Amino acid sequence: MGALISCFSAAEETKRPPPPRRRSAVNAPPKAAGELGSSERWSKGRAGRKERAEGALIHEQALAAAAALLAQQNGGGLPFDRSSSLRYPGHGQKKQALPRSSSSRARSLTEPVVQPQQLVNQDLKIDNLETNHFVLVHGGGFGAWCWYKTIALLEDSGFKVDAINLTGSGNHCFDTNKITALPEYVQPLTSFLESLGDGEKVILVGHDFGGACISYAMEMFPSKIAKAVFLCAAMLTSGQSTLDMFSQQVSIHPCNISGYKFNTNDLMQQAQIFVYANGNDHPSAIDLNKPSLKELLFNQSPAKDVALALVSMRPIPFAPVLEKLSLTDKNYGSVRRFYIETTEDNAMPISLQQNLCSSNPPERIFRLKGADHSPFFSKPQALNKILVEISKITSPQEDLRKAKKAEMLLSNI
């Protein structure tokens, strides 16, 4: 820019008379204390900018060195990608760089050089797990679409993930009002489990009403389910329905819908619209009052995810909600169960979740602090961390088998 200014100045000098003779420095009026000339101010400003740029460069180099050191301490297998301002020509074979964001913008100095998820994933060896296959089952009114963040995070960790659309949910084309039984509603899940190969197992994750759905699947296919995870979900006992579950709520209001008595809270009353598509005898579905859902289901979720949900949710079939489960210790009881509580849940308050766990204790209980009834939106990273942790929990039988193997190895030394 300085060269450009000098070009304009040279052109003007040819048209102007010579400037008046400058006074000598001796005759020039003295500068006030602390006053700087224009050249001095420019030099000082330039020095300040240079100093800040050097400081930023040093800061980025420090971040790069720290990340590289951490990777080296963990085995040296993690490739390290520098900022474009610090890229040097490589020597020998080029190492594969870390995957960058899908956006094309350059990384700013405030962003981490190495994403925390990449540092976590490098220690995860999914080949040693009982199964690396998650099957995600949505709750009432939701669809497979609600798991999009969880799917991406689990796949980034190396897992295989399938999300199921239950009958009349998501993009499954079926009239919700025509669903008359729980097996019909759960049919896409049971068909998926039937298609698994011999010896192939999955980890089922059920959200909300999806808890009753995976319970039914556990009774039907116990040998194909390694673990079952109930995410703020209906974890029922034998002879209990999802509708019965709500009678355990504290601070409740009694409801009587066509002879079906249950309890609910204020927010749920405002959000539920009972549909009578098959006559006035009993409801055929529960539709959702969209303006009331934000406070009920998404009170901690990002606005974009709330907008996605409001245009994607569908009515909930009423008959499966009424159906009482028949669960046995031989089948359902043989599958390892885990429960994830959500502390800011307005649809299933934490007190109700704790009552469910007391009535039907799982192997372990996890807690998602600050999560609403849609933790896949409000706390996706924390949820992913818990799911990965659950996948790594070994059974007592497996621990015993490993201990015996270690004893045999020691005895042969």
Catalytic residue numbers, as ranges: 208, 345, 373
Angle 147-337-360 (CA atoms, 0-180°, nearest 5)? 115
Dump strand ranges (E) for 151-218: 160-164, 202-207
Name the nearest CA neighbour of 186 among 208, 223, 212, 163: 212
Asked whether the beta carbons of 247 and 260 are under 8 A apart, the reply is no
Q: What is the amino acid identity at position 398?
A: E
Name the nearest CA neighbour of 366 among 345, 347, 346, 382: 382
112 token code pair: 């981490």
Give the Å distances, CA to CA, from 52 to 86, 88, 110, 199: 17, 22, 15, 61
Name the nearest CA neighbour of 124 among 388, 387, 383, 381: 388
Name the nearest CA neighbour of 249 among 345, 350, 322, 141: 350
Q: What is the amino acid identity at position 407?
A: E
**Kind of pairing, strands 202-207 and 225-231?**
parallel
Q: Give the span between the Cα atoms of 83 and 95, in whole angstroms.
A: 15
Asked whether the beta carbons of 156 and 115 are under 8 A apart, the reply is no
**Kind of pairing, strands 133-137 and 272-275?**
unpaired
Helix (H) or strand (E) holding 367: strand 364-368
Exposed / middle / buried, residue 57 (Cβ in 10 Å: 0-12, 13-18, 19+): middle
Q: Give the span between the Cα atoms of 134 and 398, in whole angstroms.
A: 20
Angle 129-132-133 (CA atoms, 0-180°, nearest 5)? 145
Place of tokens 């934000």: 294
Helix (H) or strand (E) holding 182: helix 182-194
